[in-house]
Amino acid sequence: MSKTILERRLFGPGPSNPYPEATSALGLPLLGHLDPEFIARMDNVCDGLRVLWGTKNSRTLPLSATGSAGMEAAFVNTINPGDVAVIAINGLFGERMCEVASRVGAEIVRVEHDYGTPIDAERVAAAHPNPKVIAGVHAETSTGVVSDIAALGAIKGDALLITDAVTSIGGMPVLADEWGIDVGYAGTQKCIGVAPGLAPFTISDRAFERRVAKPQSWYLDLGLLGGYATGSTGGKRTYHHTAPVAMVASLEAGLNRIQAEGLEAVTKRHQEAGKALQDGIQEMGLELFAAEGHRLPQLTTVKVPNGVDSAKVRSYLLNRFNIEIGGGVAQYADTVWRIGLMGPNANPASVALILASLKEAIDKA
Ligand SMILES: *Cc1c(COP(=O)(O)O)cnc(C)c1O
């Protein structure tokens, strides 16, 4: 890179700026992936992830890839060709679930919702009498909407409930056991406040027992991964693939940071920052995109005002203030902005900075 770039403020849909502790940990001396010190670190990470997931699942681990690989792992391990998957779609990531599920041969029942609205559990329940899997996104980063996953858990019956918690985890309460989540996947680069590269994953015993015997993917075969990370096998670590040791160290530091502040305080900080931003945006005379009452605090969607060029505003923010925000997705690419306040960025100073810079960008871009 020829140009020196000052630190970007990553206020888009992710990656977000990591906690400084997580960045520093990337520089720790590298350990071998079977080193006892590393194994202790991995245990620590799995324990920390269980807290974030709100689960006692022994099979809770960071998969060595990004959130989308968590999505692949969820479907490839639960769906045999011809199995019925009812998928709630209220944004891009619900669409991606359909794409992934179709590749493992699922018979997909789509339950479509308007973008900007939450998942309607009653419609999901009515879509099919006995699906193998029901799937939905907790925090739709593409639209800024939170859905009630407990309501899906309540109607799932005998189905396995797959939940995307990529943007919710670490930023708002996720209670996998209480809500009835059987398979959950997430990412490190959003509210956990760590660089992209790992997919925190959890699967219940019930789902593990009903898993696909020989999934299409060797890398994401949870049967083989059992001995890689978790103590679930009760015995020796086995080599499956080389753990991304530096990323695991970074995740450990991020989780320790969250633990030190307290998970409740962290989610409250996200809640307050998001509310302040959304109030401020409306006071500027702009409109929010996500339906009222279902707005994510950590990801705010804003309607681009008429006559304003979305891309020009975004490049003004980037070039003048080193601030990144996101555009919209699909048919809303040019008419919606997505502003994230995730991890360390969820604070009042970020809110003030965004409001002032966005105002200048709209006036001058
Ligand atoms: C970011 C995101 C993903 C994809 O994660 P990657 O780390 O980009 O692979 C999936 N689901 C949701 C809701 C996301 O926000």
- In the chain, where the domains are located: 9-16+262-364, 20-260
Instruction: Give the residue, by CA position, lying nearest to ligand 1 atom 2.
Output: 166
Q: How far is the CA of 187 from the centre of ligand 1 (A)?
A: 7
Q: How far is the CA of 98 from the centre of ligand 1 (A)?
A: 14
- Answer for the pair 251, 186: CB distance below 8 angstroms, yes or no: no
Does ligand 1 have an atom closer than 6 angstroms to the CB of 187?
Answer: yes
Taking alpha carbons only, the member of 283, 289, 356 closest to residue 321 is 356
List, in order, residues 6 or more apart from 270 with CB less than 8 Å away.
171, 172, 191, 297, 298, 341, 342, 346
Does ligand 1 have an atom closer than 6 angstroms to the CB of 196?
Answer: yes
Instruction: Give the residue, by CA position, lying nearest to ligand 1 atom 5.
Output: 67
Spatial separation of the C-alpha atoms in residues 201 and 8, rounded to whole Å: 29
pLDDT for the residue 228: 74
Does ligand 1 have an atom closer than 6 angstroms to the CB of 91?
Answer: no
Q: Could you give the C-alpha distances from 253 to 40, 66, 256, 259, 325, in angstroms and in order?
A: 13, 18, 5, 10, 26
Q: Could you give the C-alpha distances from 96 to 90, 164, 308, in angstroms and in order?
A: 11, 11, 30
Q: Which atom of ligand 1 is nearest to the CA of 141?
A: 15
pLDDT for the residue 5: 64
Spatial separation of the C-alpha atoms in residues 322 and 317, rounded to whole Å: 6
The answer to whether domain 20-260 has CATH 3.40.640.10 is yes
CATH H-level, domain 9-16+262-364: superfamily = Aspartate Aminotransferase, domain 1 (3.90.1150.10)
Taking alpha carbons only, the member of 27, 58, 19, 20 closest to residue 249 is 27
Does ligand 1 have an atom closer than 6 angstroms to the CB of 94?
Answer: no
Q: How far is the CA of 301 from the centre of ligand 1 (A)?
A: 16
| 3-class DSSP assignment, residue 37 | helix
Does ligand 1 have an atom closer than 6 angstroms to the CB of 166?
Answer: yes
9-16+262-364 and 20-260 share one fold: no
Does ligand 1 have an atom closer than 6 angstroms to the CB of 188?
Answer: no
pTM of the model: 0.96
How long a stretch of residues is the chain?
Answer: 365
Q: What is the pLDDT along the chain (365 residues), one digit of tens a residue?
A: 455 667 899 999 999 999 999 999 999 999 998 899 999 999 999 999 999 999 999 999 999 999 999 999 999 999 999 999 999 999 999 999 999 999 999 999 999 999 999 999 999 999 999 999 999 999 999 999 999 999 999 999 999 999 999 999 999 999 999 999 999 999 999 999 999 999 999 999 999 999 999 999 999 999 988 777 655 445 567 788 999 999 999 999 999 999 999 999 999 999 999 999 999 999 999 999 999 999 999 999 999 999 999 999 999 999 999 999 999 999 999 999 999 999 999 999 999 999 999 999 999 98
Pocket test for ligand 1, best of 92, 147, 164, 183 (most atoms within 8 A of CB): 164
pLDDT for the residue 237: 76
